[in-house]
Amino acid sequence: MNSSELFERSKLVAPGGVHSPVRSFKSVGGNPIFFKSGKGAYLTDIEGKDYIDFCLSFGPLILGHRDEEIEEVVKETIHTAWTFGACEPYSLELAEFIVSEIPWVEKIRFVSSGTEAVMSALRVARAYTGRDKILKFDGCYHGHLDALLVKSGSGLAGEPDSDSAGISRRQMADTLVIPLDDEKQLEEVFARHGSEIAVVAIEPLPANYGLLIQRKEFIESIFRIARQHGSLVLFDEVISGFRIGFRGMSDLFDEKPDLVTYGKIIGGGFPVGAYAGRKDLMDLVAPSGPVYQAGTLSGNPIGMRAGLATLKKLKEQNVHSTLKLRTQTFVHKFLHILNSKSTKQWGGVTYDSLFWFHEDVNDPIRTIDKIPSSHKEDFAKLFHALLSKGVYLAPSGYEVGFLSLAHTDEVLEKVYSALESIDLR
């Protein structure tokens, strides 16, 4: 049985044959690969072929697949508990660790996904401010909750629209959307709606529509204008939290977000999310306050213990500094080889252990309208060329790549060799 045969079977029982759209290879063409195992920097498909993995489950595996130390913790936990639906010490230990390490996180609530975390944080913001509207930015992704699947410009100019069917007009009307990197439009939307905006939600490092690194001055303007109008600021650090340094992007600014969401790395490879922030905001959450949010599997002991072990290893071994330098070196060498193999001149950008390849352009790409129009097609060619040589990138040109501690120099040399053997001319 090969992947194509399994995909045909899967399409009979699952929408599009997948359980998350980007897995379908729709953006790059062809059929998805079915993997049976992962270890270190490698994925192994059902036919036994190995691939060097730069998708890393879209970010959480900062130590690589099944890091040996984390695996021991997981095995021990599985022999102890799977789930309680009751109080236990494991979520307490992770919560205490995060609160002790991040000064602007005074309290935290664990959930099971990043989408849940953002949804709950928005509810807290609306309860605290007594306002209904949310401001978000085109090019940021905050999960698949209705309020944040609204298209660019819909709240500020013209009829609302969404990125998904099934979202009500009333829901869309309460979401305002403006471009990234545009202080003028930020000022304008607050001039029109400032007294109605409960919260400004942003990925401080947008990493779901390319790697759109924002100017520090732009982020600081969000704090300034939101404060002037009594609106809260929510940093979505589901990707960047504990991957961009130990304290995430929030550590880079004098002003701190009122609320912050985490996911991915804090679960050590298991499904965990969290929302956190100031004590007065978080104490609005039930049972302390009137904002209801619950979850049967929240604080799952396996994710809690795997997450805590991961965070401790990141800190003790200074993993972030290692990965930052390694990623810069990797992208530099990768692009040097790639541009000798392609008629298209490629460029790339890194931020700590994240990277993104795109057509070489003169100015930094900070907004989605600056992404070259040929990017999707160009990336699909690169993706399949590398895939044929055993290198697996995320199957979309708009997803970023990740390095893990398991991507040693020896592993990366194999990537360079694979790249030398392809031809995109």
- Residue positions annotated with a catalytic role: 141, 236, 264
**Which pair of tokens denotes residue 252?**
């880079």
Torsion angles phi and psi, residue 201, rounded to 5: -110, 130
Q: Which residue has 């989605």 as its token pair?
A: 368
**Under 8 Å between Cβ of 175 and 163:** no
Lateral strand order in the sheet of 35-39: 35-39, 42-45, 50-53, 391-392
**Under 8 Å between Cβ of 413 and 384:** no
Q: By C-alpha distance, which of 188, 196, 186, 279 is closest to 231?
A: 196
Alpha-carbon separation of residue 364 from 7, 61, 351, 371 (angstroms): 38, 28, 13, 10
Helix (H, G, I), strand (E, B) or coil at 116: helix
Q: Give residue 377's region: left, alpha or beta (phi > 0; psi -120 to 50).
A: alpha
**Which pair of tokens denotes residue 160?**
């609302």
Alpha-carbon separation of residue 58 from 55, 94, 423 (angstroms): 5, 22, 27
Name the residue type at position 69: E
Torsion angles phi and psi, residue 17, rounded to 5: 80, 5
Lateral strand order in the sheet of 401-402: 346-351, 354-359, 401-402
**Which pair of tokens denotes residue 25?**
């290879």
Q: By C-alpha distance, which of 176, 148, 153 is closest to 163?
A: 148
Paired residues of 197 in beta bridges:
133
Instruction: Give the CA dihedral 120, 121, 123, 124, nearest 10 degrees.
Output: 120
Cβ atoms within 10 Å, residue 326: 18
Cβ atoms within 10 Å, residue 376: 14
Q: Could you give the residue ranges of the DSSP H alpha helices within 229-318?
A: 279-282, 301-316
